[in-house]
A and B are shown apart, each in its own frame.
Chain A
Amino acid sequence: MNRKSLRVILTMVILSGIAALLVWGWLRGDKERAMDAGGERPVKAPSRVSVADGEVVVAVDETERRKSGIAVASPAPLSRRGEQRATGVVLPLQELFDGLNAFAAAKAQAERARANLSASRAEYERLKLLNADDRNVSDKALQAAEAAWRGDEASLQAASASVKALSGSLRQRWGGVIAGWVREGGAPLERLARQEDRLLQVTFLPDVRVATAPRTIRLQTAGGAPSIAARLVSPAPATDPRIQGISFLYLAPARSGLLPGMNVPARLPVGPMVQGVVVPDAAVVWWQGKAWAYLEKGADRFVRREIPTSAPVDGGYFTAGGLSADDRVVVSGAQLLLSEEFRPRIKGGGEGDDD
């Protein structure tokens, strides 16, 4: 082998060495780039949302659920009627009893007039017979008796009118039932008089429509004491001018500490008794103007259900139908599921038809 060919071989070796180095460098760079790209790629966000039977389903497996702290629970069953809040005021009864007295006086007056009338009428009848029988009594005496009779008759009419007027005024002020008690007399009035019961005027806020007043309501007394029941007396003949809503009168036992002049919040059941469940506040998410809760449907699948919010109860919303106590509602992480469902909105994708 001459020097020339040796040199050629050497050059070839050097060149191939350089080429190999370049290729190695490129491959290494490629690996680095791949690693970089791995570092730069977005945190994996698999599509967890699908549509099945017209419902949007969010699929979250057990690991992800645990990781994101998504918890489910059954909603508490509850049977309840509709409830309205109202404001009651314990009425002072002086006026009622004044009215009662006046009525009693008027009634006595009328009785008296009636007695007088029957006496004077009898007197007149007798004198009339005697006068007719050969004028055993003078015409004058008969005329006097007639005047007394007619006078008593007028007195009775006046007294009766007075009773009627008083009764009407009582009805106007206290309603027919209480006016009836006054007219007839009775135990309720006596209990009121003995301050064993209190009379309350309970007024709904003006936008509440109540067809028939509930027979009993619950009154919330101060300081978290247990609520007390009050029985319906009658519709109130006038509303509370401060509140301007439909108003009713109720009786409540006085031993609960109610005193005339007190304002007491009241809750009135309205409508029929309904069986349902309470969806806890923690399960409710608001979206597109509606309230929703996520239901577990089978393993690792969640669907969104609208929750009616017309019946808020303490700690949640009462819902009858749609959900049952056997359903499993997401009570922790509902917002995450909502967020997952609408991730395209913050993450491109252009799925704008979700509402």
Chain B
Amino acid sequence: MTSRDRGIIASLVRFSLRFRGVVIALALLTAGYGVYTLGGAKYDVFPEFAPPQVVIQTEAPGLSPEQAEALVTRPVENAVNGLTGIESLRSGTLQGLSVVTLTFDPRSDVYRDRQLVAERLSTLAGRLPQGVQAPVITPLTSSTSVVLAVGLTSATRSLMELRTIADWTVRPRLQAVPGVAKVAVFGGDVRQLQIQFRPDRLIRYGLSVEDLLAAARRATGVRGAGFIDSGNQRLILRGEGQSLTPHELARTVIVHRNGANVTIGDVAQAVEAAEPSIGAALIMGTPGVQLLVSEQYGANTREVTDAVEKALAEVRPGLSSQKVTLHGDVFRPADFIATAIGNVESALLTGAVLVALVIFLFLFNLRTAAVSCLAIPLSLLAGVAGLEHLGLSLNTMTLGGLAIAVGMVVDDAVIDVENILRRLRENRRLPEPLPAARVVYDASLEVRGAVVYATFAMALVFVPVLTMSGLAGRLFAPLGIAYILATFASLAVALTITPALCLVLLGGRELPEREPPVVRWLKKRYRSLLATLDRRPRAVVAAVALFTLAGLAPLPFLDAAFLPELKEGHFIVHMTAVPGTSLRESLRLGREVTTALLKLPFVRTVAQRAGRAEEGDDTLGTHSSEFDVDLKPMKGDEAERARGEIRAALDGFVGVNFSVNTFLTERVEETLSGFTAPVAVNIYGDDLNELDRKAREVAGILGGMPGAADVQVQSPPGTPQLTVRLRDEELSRWGFAPLDVLDAVRTAYQGVDVGETYEGNRVFDVAVILDAQTRGSVARVGDLPLQNPDGAYVRLRQLADIYETSGRYAVLHDAARRVQTVTCNVAGRDVNTFVKKARKRIARDVTFPPGSYLEFTGEAAAQSRARRELLVHSLMAGVGVVLLLSMVMGNARNLLLVMANLPFAVVGGVLAAFMTGGTLSIGSMVGFVTLFGITLRNSIMMISHYEHLVLVEGMAWGRNAAMRGASERLAPILMTALVTALGLLPMAIGASAPGREIEGPMALVILGGLVTSTTLNLLVLPTLALRYGRFQGRTSPGPQEPDRAEY
């Protein structure tokens, strides 16, 4: 047994050849398991790309942003700040709502993070002001969150009835669906039993608001009554008779005087009315209710969508009988998932078919082709099983990784089969042929070194992709994992099943004596071409160097982009007016916008959400709206134009800003900086006014730069506000405590919940509030009568200065510091250059007071971080690859020869990127990484074959050896290149199809690089090897001049 026969790999091959039946059975089993996991696999567009995040929402009804910031947000932030693993702590405080968002270390367990936050929040109990609800950790959702948006409209039912149906019929049903995390309800009127008091009536009967509140509380409270134990039985005591209807409430006695009753009905109107609303919805221009269904973290989007739709189908008949129309398809992300996955799958399949064709053409033998092609399903299925085992879903990224790997996985097998076939053929020609098993074994081991090392080198090359941090890492690492899993699976196949099958199928059979016609034809031409080139080595080297330089020249002109535009067939249109715009006005304009959008022939549905919903993902004010614009299925070109046409349709609306984005792009961008923009400038400081001023200066500078678009100050001041400032001396003169007055104001304008009524299992709040007419008048605020302890009435105006001011719409914090953010899109220009210039100009033109400073975040920052990391990790991986190769190559010269291929590969990639749009996305970067792997592998194959010829077969290194080695390697290298290229071709050709937006450019880069690197590998490498290579026994090292006589 030689030393070669002693390694693990040799044992593995030996084992496979000896127990070929077992190996084949095992292969079938693996394939079967792969198919089984495929059936139950999770499908999604993207991997979970959001880091572990905990969102704490606290409803603080009636509090202004500044009040809520000080009284709610600060305590919540203080409570949770300092938890282990926090990466960022951001908050936004709006009127009546505080939202604190914590982002944790991506490696941490989100459930543990939530537990820690919950523990800290429990310490807050009783420390928040009265009327503020307990802080709530919003349900854990997946990165994309929304699985379905559903609308309810009705021609006959009121908005209140619709909302009641949504809240009490549809929502509970949907929330019970496995995988649904929450259902946020937008719009409609939340039914409330309101006791709307009339101030003049209170005066008339000498009552105060407190009297009314007390009476209302007494009328609606629910009390348990216990039970009675009799000798034999236990009887439950139940008290009934509290007021449940407006009529009953109206009859409730407030006071009894001189034998006469003053009832609630005397001083107030008890009616069913709408709770003061925070959001509204339009569906196809009709006011209605929208339900936004969010899925749980890690749920299977397609399954959840199906289950939700099934649940909707159950409630639909009930709804139609109530004359309510259910719009089940306002927004359905699963559509895009299906299209995207379908497109990637079809690319994968087409690639596989093309690969099989090429293999057959090159091997020209059904059996050998079959053996080679079998590696594709086996490796891919093993890859899928591995992904499932790692808990990764099947998404465009992982499938993309598999699609790129299609060409590669067949490679190992092809190299093996091709070599076995050649050796078997040679064996036949021997006077005393060796046993087939021996030949197969030898032939397998002959290429194993190259195959194994090349695969490991490839895996090493992918390390930078796997270790990318942040969003880029979370998006692309699964692609790398899928790719590596598949290639390792293919290595295993090449070492076990391929030899076994070769022995079974080729061992004792007739083999075609001659080489396949294609190969013969190619070899003939290749030899003559090689000979021609060989005569002019200097010219060739010079031409190659020149071409490389020329090819790298466009590199600086390439734009960088984080994510390409996704063609989701759906757009989210944001509409923003100045803060303070009412819901009614937002809806009114929304109707006009809907009409304009529906005029576009390709728009299927339009639905608007204005403001926010309780527990909603987005915390928008009433001046902001989101439109779901769903498109009809379209061809690629139309889809490209759709966005432009939508923008054109939005031209000419007065007083509002629009931005048009796709859902996923927006989610990804939100994850990056918390804002949906590529560039976000954070300005920190203590003084809100100062921050506003600086933000406006920064916005001015950004707005004046070429390429800047949609420059927005995130929380602009200027929300109209009415301030009630109490006057001390007046309060003491009339005997009021400040809180009494503020309570009365809150009761009048925000309403106070005094109890609940129920109707069946539906529970509705009972609230005391000022009558609608008085409440709607700004001028009447001062008229609010207040009764002092002596029973005298005083108007609010006497106790307080009431004046209109402008306040803030929101107060933002980052890491518990006040921050003002300016966001900006960049159109028609590279984001990084833009940021660089902006940085310089702001540093020059804006001076910050002490304690204030500025920071750039957003997509651009993430991108440059990703690139920096990619660079560092690439360098490290590069060193690793060099070390690995040095083990294979034995000497530095050959190592350099192998590496010489890399720049040439880059040239092809750059040219391909340049020709197809000139944008370098993270996807294309990953493409380069893959390209390096493939190129290295091919050159390793060539050089190691030379080593084999010299060291094993004992040829003298010279022109003949170089020619023979090259022509023997022509078929496998060309085949490898072709199968990889063809495997990727469908992906590259349909680069604009939905789902291929990210892998398309990647495939293009790989294709371009393959063309140049294969050309170099085949045409130039032999010449270079002849001139600079050194092939000799490792035992006799020493400088040796290349054989110049050959030239």
Given contacts A244-B792, A345-B716, contact A60 B914 (CB under 8 A): no
Q: Is the CB of A87 within 8 A of B204?
A: yes
From B576, B579, B699, contact of A350 by CB (8 A): B699
B588 within 8 A of A: yes
Tell me which residues across on chain A come within 8 A of B825, comparing CB atoms: 40, 42
* Chain B 614-654 interface mask (CB, 8 Å, partner A; 1/0): 00000000010000000000000000110110010011111
Nearest A residue to B661 via CB reads A40
Nearest A residue to B913 via CB reads A29
Given contacts A29-B917, A263-B203, contact A242 B779 (CB under 8 A): no
Q: Is the CB of B640 within 8 A of A39?
A: yes
- B contact residues, range: 35 or more
Which one of B122-130, B188-196, B705-713 is at the interface? B705-713
How many whole Å from A40's CB to the nearest CB in chain B?
A: 4
Tell me which residues across on chain B come within 8 A of A289, comparing CB atoms: 803-806
Tell me which residues across on chain A come within 8 A of B918, comparing CB atoms: 26, 29-30, 33
A338 within 8 A of B: yes
Q: Is the CB of A67 within 8 A of B700?
A: no
Q: Is the CB of B712 within 8 A of A348?
A: yes
Given contacts A67-B652, A346-B712, contact A312 B203 (CB under 8 A): no
CA distance A336 to B828 in the complex (A): 30
Which one of B219-227, B361-369, B793-801 is at the interface? B793-801
Q: Is the CB of A332 within 8 A of B588?
A: yes
Tell me which residues across on chain B come within 8 A of A333, comparing CB atoms: 585, 588-589, 654-655
Q: Is the CB of A241 within 8 A of B792?
A: yes
Q: Is the CB of B596 within 8 A of A67?
A: yes
A97 within 8 A of B: no
Q: Is the CB of B655 within 8 A of A42?
A: no
Q: Is the CB of B915 within 8 A of A22?
A: yes
* Chain B 413-449 interface mask (CB, 8 Å, partner A; 1/0): 0000000000000000000000000000000000000
B778 within 8 A of A: yes
Q: Is the CB of B578 within 8 A of A87?
A: no
Nearest B residue to A31 via CB reads B917
Tell me which residues across on chain B come within 8 A of A26, comparing CB atoms: 914-915, 918
B911 within 8 A of A: yes
Tell me which residues across on chain A come within 8 A of B623, comparing CB atoms: 339
B890 within 8 A of A: no
Q: Is the CB of A349 within 8 A of B700?
A: yes
Q: Is the CB of A338 within 8 A of B709?
A: no
Tell me which residues across on chain A come within 8 A of B577, comparing CB atoms: 335-336, 339, 346
B656 within 8 A of A: yes
Nearest B residue to A266 via CB reads B200
CA distance A264 to B205 in the complex (A): 10
* Chain B 587-614 interface mask (CB, 8 Å, partner A; 1/0): 0110110001000000000000000000
Q: Is the CB of B581 within 8 A of A335?
A: yes
Tell me which residues across on chain B come within 8 A of A41, comparing CB atoms: 647, 709, 827-828
Q: Is the CB of B700 within 8 A of A29?
A: no
From B206, B653, B914, contact of A68 by CB (8 A): B653
Tell me which residues across on chain A come within 8 A of B585, comparing CB atoms: 333, 335-336
Residue of A25, A28, A355 with highest tally of chain B CB at under 10 A: A25
A340 within 8 A of B: yes
From A38, A287, A312, contact of B720 by CB (8 A): A287
How many whole Å from A183's CB to the nearest CB in chain B?
A: 34
Residue of A60, A333, A339, A343 with highest tally of chain B CB at under 10 A: A339
B342 within 8 A of A: no
CA distance A39 to B639 in the complex (A): 11
Which residues of A in the span 6-39 have a Cβ within 8 Å of any Cβ on B? 21-22, 25-26, 28-30, 32-39
Tell me which residues across on chain B come within 8 A of A317, comparing CB atoms: 779
A347 within 8 A of B: yes
Tell me which residues across on chain A come within 8 A of B643, comparing CB atoms: 39
* Chain B 775-795 interface mask (CB, 8 Å, partner A; 1/0): 011111001010000111111
A206 within 8 A of B: yes
From A242, A341, A350, contact of B696 by CB (8 A): A350
Q: Is the CB of B713 within 8 A of A348?
A: yes
A288 within 8 A of B: yes
Q: Is the CB of A339 within 8 A of B917?
A: no
Given contacts A263-B204, A345-B718, contact A43 B657 (CB under 8 A): yes
Q: Is the CB of A43 within 8 A of B576?
A: no
Q: Is the CB of A25 within 8 A of B720?
A: no
B658 within 8 A of A: yes
CA distance A188 to B984 in the complex (A): 107
Q: Is the CB of B804 within 8 A of A242?
A: no
Tell me which residues across on chain B come within 8 A of A32, comparing CB atoms: 917
CA distance A205 to B792 in the complex (A): 10
Which residues of A in the span 99-121 have a Cβ within 8 Å of any Cβ on B? none
B660 within 8 A of A: yes
Which residues of B in the span 675-707 have a Cβ within 8 Å of any Cβ on A? 693, 696-697, 699-703
How many whole Å from A284's CB to the nearest CB in chain B?
A: 8
CA distance A174 to B697 in the complex (A): 69
B659 within 8 A of A: yes
Tell me which residues across on chain B come within 8 A of A139, comparing CB atoms: none
CA distance A65 to B778 in the complex (A): 28
A309 within 8 A of B: yes
Tell me which residues across on chain B come within 8 A of A67, comparing CB atoms: 592, 596, 652-654
Given contacts A43-B659, A207-B795, contact A29 B915 (CB under 8 A): yes
Which residues of A in the span 150-170 have a Cβ within 8 Å of any Cβ on B? none
CA distance A155 to B585 in the complex (A): 82
CA distance A206 to B786 in the complex (A): 12
A214 within 8 A of B: no
CA distance A26 to B917 in the complex (A): 7
Q: Is the CB of A205 within 8 A of B795?
A: yes
A233 within 8 A of B: no
Q: Is the CB of A309 within 8 A of B656?
A: no
Given contacts A289-B803, A289-B804, contact A44 B651 (CB under 8 A): yes
Q: Is the CB of A265 within 8 A of B806?
A: no
Tell me which residues across on chain B come within 8 A of A346, comparing CB atoms: 576-579, 657, 712-713, 716
CA distance A21 to B912 in the complex (A): 11
CA distance A287 to B718 in the complex (A): 8
Q: Is the CB of B653 within 8 A of A64?
A: yes
Given contacts A22-B911, A348-B713, contact A242 B581 (CB under 8 A): no
Which residues of B in the span 755-790 have a Cβ within 8 Å of any Cβ on A? 776-780, 783, 785, 790
From B206, B795, B917, contact of A33 by CB (8 A): B917
Tell me which residues across on chain B come within 8 A of A21, comparing CB atoms: 915
A48 within 8 A of B: yes
Tell me which residues across on chain A come within 8 A of B785, comparing CB atoms: 205
B822 within 8 A of A: yes
B565 within 8 A of A: yes
Nearest B residue to A339 via CB reads B655
Q: Is the CB of A243 within 8 A of B793?
A: yes
Q: Is the CB of A348 within 8 A of B804?
A: no
Nearest B residue to A39 via CB reads B643
Sample (29) of A-B pairs whose CB atoms are under 8 Å apart = A22-B911, A29-B914, A32-B917, A33-B917, A36-B828, A38-B644, A42-B710, A44-B651, A64-B652, A67-B592, A85-B783, A205-B795, A206-B795, A207-B795, A288-B718, A290-B804, A309-B779, A312-B780, A337-B654, A338-B578, A339-B578, A339-B654, A339-B656, A346-B576, A347-B710, A347-B711, A348-B713, A350-B696, A350-B697
Instruction: Report which A residues bind B (CB closer than 8 A).
Output: 21-22, 25-26, 28-30, 32-45, 48, 58, 60, 63-65, 67-70, 85, 87, 205-207, 241-244, 263-265, 281, 285-291, 309, 312, 317, 332-333, 335-343, 345-350, 352, 355
Instruction: Report which B residues bind A (CB closer than 8 A).
Output: 200, 203-206, 559, 565, 576-582, 585, 588-589, 591-592, 596, 623, 640-641, 643-644, 647, 650-660, 693, 696-697, 699-703, 708-713, 716-718, 720, 776-780, 783, 785, 790-795, 797-798, 803-806, 822, 824-825, 827-828, 911, 914-919
Beyond the given pairs A263-B205, A286-B720, A339-B655, 20 more chain A to chain B contacts, judged by CB atoms under 8 angstroms and listed by A's residue number, are A34-B828, A37-B828, A38-B644, A39-B565, A68-B592, A243-B203, A243-B793, A244-B792, A263-B204, A265-B200, A287-B806, A288-B805, A289-B803, A333-B655, A339-B654, A342-B718, A345-B713, A346-B576, A346-B577, A348-B703
